Structure 1
């Protein structure tokens, strides 16, 4: 008997990519549950479509990302922080979000612990300090560094996102998995991961990329005049709209 879960993260307001992945997951009847590791919104402009799709399902558990947190802070009356493009973009996202989604978004925890077939899982957007603040991104992490960070905790598997590339580290202490950003990619592919946890403690990991049509999504940055659109299209989508 094996329990199988799906891991998605960093959707970033891209409903076309999200729909493609959820449709792909739904074809696998062995998948028992989906864990979403934050940054549901911002960068992408399809905020309400993404939240409607996610919150309408009963088989997804969430943790909060830094962009989710930033938008909630703006809506709570706090001023945006960071560079000007980020401030303008986040203010624009906050102004367009449907208020009906805010209670669900605000209720998302920073961390989630689960025991799956005897294995202890931590789900988190990114590694946290003792004050539950996100640590700076480590561009070249190693299993040894991650083991030092998590110490002698009884966590067997750490699932995280935030850094948009795939991570797959296995040490003597635990397994570390980041499936990569579902919504931000330099090609029309939406990644996610599945984990099968066996009764004997074995864990099978699969990284999956789902093709989807992102043309309308990319063109809408210009049509909607999304703040910081040039920066976003270059850095997070590799200027695919020019190809």
Structure 2
């Protein structure tokens, strides 16, 4: 039988977008499992709402993102990778994270490997170097560079996030997919993708953009005095909030 999965990534503390996507996914009764590729929290301010939704479900597997990692390091009394206004933002998020979520969030791995209908999948937040450190974002990716990064991998399909744009690359060696950020968008919709893996190892890829009402989410940045809100609202949300002021 064929296998059907959904891929979500970079929720970034946006529960309104997450609810819209999960509602959309749940309408498809063929979807057997959801893979979430990290950055559950950070940037968005709905930390506990997002984690409550995600961790209450049994059909989602996770990998850890750089924002998740930075916030956990602050909670653990360690130095995060973030600096300046970004670190202030991470500290704000960390101070408001319900401690009941810390064990589960801490246990999330940096990568997952699965075999689905004979196809080898690798799920990561972004490309990893030694000691599971994330590479810097490549803003001009191509199949040659991706194949070089994964030259020692036996994965047929590599799914990742972090870079908030869609990636759909296929080389002679493997398929590379990134559905784009679910929670950070310059328009009021939330992206994700579905994969159908057939018995003959064929793969059907479908990208989705789910519309949702982001008004309250955007206006709450100011109401809650979220650190780095001006930068976040401009860069990650295209200043959509201005239409509501």
TM-score normalised by the chain length of structure 1: 0.98
Q: What SS does the aligned partner of 1:176 have?
A: strand
Distance 1:142 1:128 in 2: 17
Q: What SS does the aligned partner of 2:234 have?
A: helix
Shift of 1:82: 3.4
1:232 aligned partner = 232
Distance 1:153 1:37 in 2: 18
Whether 2:181 is the aligned partner of 1:181: answer yes
TM-score normalised by the chain length of structure 2: 0.98
Distance 1:123 1:14 in 2: 22
Q: What SS does the aligned partner of 2:25 have?
A: helix
Whether 2:45 is the aligned partner of 1:45: answer yes
1:55 aligned partner = 55
Shift of 1:200: 0.8
Write out the 4+ residue segments of structure 1 that deviate beyond 2 Å after TM superposition.
79-83
- For structure 2, the residue ranges without an aligned partner over 5 or more in a row are none
Deviations 1:201-222 (A, max 9, x none): 1100000000000000000001
Distance 1:81 1:173 in 2: 33
Whether 2:73 is the aligned partner of 1:73: answer yes
- For structure 1, the residue ranges without an aligned partner over 5 or more in a row are none
Matches within 5 A, 1:198-213: 198-213=198-213
Deviations 1:179-227 (A, max 9, x none): 0000000000000000100011110000000000000000000100000
Deviations 1:70-127 (A, max 9, x none): 0000000024443311111000000000000000000000000000000000000000
Q: What SS does the aligned partner of 2:132 have?
A: coil
Q: What SS does the aligned partner of 1:196 have?
A: strand
Distance 1:139 1:67 in 2: 19
Deviations 1:7-41 (A, max 9, x none): 00000000000000000000000100000000000
Size of the aligned set, in residue pairs, is 243
Q: Is the CA contact 2:70–2:82 (under 8 Å) kept in the aligned structure 1?
A: no
Shift of 1:58: 0.1
Distance 2:82 2:101 in 1: 25
